[in-house]
Amino acid sequence: MDKLSIGQHISGQFNADLEALKTELLEMGGLVEEQVISAVKAITSADSELAEQVITREEEVDNFEVKLDEQCTLVLARRQPAAGDLRMVLAVAKIIRDLERMGDEAQKIAKMALELNEEGEAPRGYVELRHIGSLVHQMVINTLDCFARFDVNLALNVAKEDGRVDQEYKSAMRELATYMMEDPRSISRVLNIVWAIRSLERIGDHSRNIAEHVIFLVKGLDVRHVSVKEMQRKLGQEDD
Amino acid sequence: MEATVGSANTIGKLNSEAPVSKATANYKEQAAGKTVGIPFVEHPKMSMRDVQVYYGDKQAIFDVGLDIGKNEVVAMIGPSGCGKSTFLRCLNRMNDTIDICRVEGSLKLEELDIYDPKLDVVPLRARVGMVFQKPNPFPKSIYDNVAYGPRIHGLVSRKSELDEIVETSLRRAGLWEEVKDRLLSPGTGLSGGQQQRLCIARTIAVSPEVILMDEPCSALDPIATAKIEELIAELSANFTIAIVTHSMQQAARVSDRTAYFHLGKLIEVNETEKVFTNPDHELTEAYITGRFG
């Protein structure tokens, strides 16, 4: 089934339940996206206040997860959804887990920002952080979009972008490792940047997971643990 | 272990003529009479092709083609009046009792032509047994209910043999422990769920090859329903089962393949898991997700 329409049930309440799942998941996604941007900004502009704010708001993300998890359970228990509806509920239950972990990673980045502000700025790494930060930010936006529009092609793009982030992550690591060898006194400060970049890379991985859940939701295909090429093959798309 | 292999095997060996492509799953093609999914299997126990059923001038079933594999459980679902019960009742000629009903097409039990005019339906119905919506035990003792079939078909010569058949059948129907001390009390005195299991025992007493079930649980409470469903899983080791059900969850729980009927047409037949997680046809999706009833 290519077309997913969550309306038109005989039961209006069922429509409302599914619609609520979708809307609240997007709200949660919006919050996580904001957390990611703020966390990166907290490091790059040495803004402790913003970092504190990210750390405090992490609780909101957690609350969203608990609430949405409960709603999924209720829909399963009350409606015994099948087919597209079932995949919707399952996908939401999985996506919130990834979103919550993305929130955790954003919080870690914010903590790194605080440490950097206490220990003094790292001599290097900000360019890489900003660069990977903006790639990952775009991934998060696309991830939420592909869910909102049930867009399989966009989901596939997210998976591809994740490959790019991984590349950038590796090259940043190489560069920062060289720098730490050259100037051992800066190791602890540069490591803070390393952890932050690592968290961004993890956020990218979670975005890819979400994109995979979206493909499952829309197409009913399980594309976990496969290469992007294999994903394309499963989706019946030519390699480009 | 033929029993456990049966269903998986038959599904595995797909007939090449089965249209599986998702791309073909649109309603226009369906109107042209194409069923999507896996309607046919290799070495079917029952094989139906181009089945048309009319009640007087009104056509109730259009071009239905379906195979039922050996030891397979096939569930038939669909909205009221979609023809699923009508189709089921063709499989052992129960529709013969309706004067205005006319059946066309090819319906076979292995090599036997079910609608051969010369065919005696009594032995056919011994091979293809039926369990109905409402439990309908004979107004006789529990023992006689089960012994009735073997007696009229002349399957036994001695009382001890009959005793054995009665006990085995009741055991297989999961009823023996509950009734072994009161075999001579009337079958109608049992609870609804027990009565239905008695009817199943009566059906299997003549060792049928196929058991047809027409909404066997719709008059039962959830616990009795669970027992019957458990029983269906056990029976599928020895029998081929076709079940019509209004409960989609029941179809999802008990069957290997699920057939979806809509307005007298067979829309989709697929492995049950597929039908309930990712059906090929949008009508199937609409029905099982409760978008129309």
B273: tokens are: 């898991």
What is the model's pLDDT at position A3?
53
Q: How many CA atoms lie within 13 A of B247 on its CB side?
A: 19
Using a CB-CB cut-off of 8 Å, the residues of chain B touching A81 are 289
Instruction: Identify the CA nearest to B87 among candidates B152, A113, B77.
Output: B77
Q: Which domains does chain B have, with CATH numbers?
A: 2-288 (3.40.50.300)
A42 min Cα distance to partner chain B (Å): 44
Beta-carbon separation of A82 and B289 below 8 A? yes
Minimum distance, in Å, between the CA of residue A184 and any CA atom of chain B: 56
Is the CB of A87 less than 8 angstroms away from the CB of B278?
yes
Query: First and final CA of chain B: distance in angstroms?
Result: 40
Asked if A1 lies within 8 A of B293 by C-beta distance, the reply is: no
Provide DSSP, B28-51. Answer: HHHHTTPPEE---BSSEEEEEEEE
Angle at A227 between CA A224 and CA A229, to 5 degrees: 125
CB-closest option in A85, A219, A220 to B289:
A85
Which B residues 220-249 touch A at CB under 8 Å? 248-249
Dihedral Cα A8, A13, A16, A17, nearest 10 deg: -120
Question: pLDDT confidence of A4, banded at 50, 70, 90?
Answer: low
> Which of A10, A79, A220 is opposite residue B291, by nearest beta carbon?
A10
Q: Is B77 in a helix, a strand, or coil?
A: strand
Q: Give the global pTM.
A: 0.82
For residue B7, the distance in angstroms to the closest alpha carbon of chain A comes to 22
Q: Mean pLDDT throughout A56-82?
A: 96
What is the β-pairing status of strands B101-109 and B58-69?
unpaired
- Tell me what pLDDT residue B25 has: 40
- Number of domains present in the structure of chain A: 1
Q: List the single best residue of B26, B247, B289, B291 to mutate versus A (max A Cβ within 10 A).
A: B289
Contacts of B23 (CB under 8 A, 6+ apart): none
Q: Is the CB of B248 less than 8 angstroms away from the CB of A220?
A: no
A96 within domain boundaries: yes
pLDDT value at position B16?
Answer: 37
pLDDT bin (cut points 50, 70, 90) of residue A123 is confident
Tokens 């399957």 belong to which residue?
B155
Which of B246, B250, B278, B284 is the mutation pick for testing A, counting most A CBs within 10 A?
A: B278
Q: What is the mean pLDDT of residues A125-142?
A: 95
Cβ partners under 8 Å of residue B123, min gap 6: B153
Chain B hits for A80, CB-CB cut-off 8 Å, are 249
The minimum CA-CA distance between B137 and chain A, rounded to whole Å, is 34
**Among A3, A9, A87, whose Cβ lies nearest the Cβ of B290?**
A9
- Span B140-163, pLDDT tens digits: 999 999 999 999 988 888 999 999
Q: What is the pLDDT of residue B220?
A: 85
Residue A1 domain-assigned (yes or no) = no
Range of the domain at A89: 12-232
Count of C-beta atoms within a 10 Å radius of residue A240: 4
For the residues of B106-154, what is the DSSP string, one character each?
Answer: EEEETTEETT-TT--HHHHHHHEEEE-SS----SSBHHHHHHHHHHHTT
Has residue A131 been placed in a domain?
yes
In contact, B205 and B150? CB cutoff 8 Å: yes
- In this structure, what token pair is assigned to residue A127? 């360019």
Distance CA(B233)–CA(B231), nearest Å, equals 5
Percent above pLDDT 70 for chain A: 96
- Across the A:B interface, residue pairs with CB atoms under 8 Å apart total 45
Contact B289 A10 (CB under 8 A): no
pLDDT for position A124: 83
pLDDT tier, A92 (very low <50, low <70, confident <90, very high otherwise)? very high
Residue A118 sits in a domain whose CATH number is 1.20.58.220
Kindly indicate the confidence band of residue A119, based on its pLDDT and cuts at 50, 70 and 90. Answer: confident
pLDDT at A238: 55
**pLDDT < 50 regions, chain B:** 1-32
- Please give the pLDDT value at position B279: 94
Q: Is residue A7 included in any domain, yes or no?
A: no
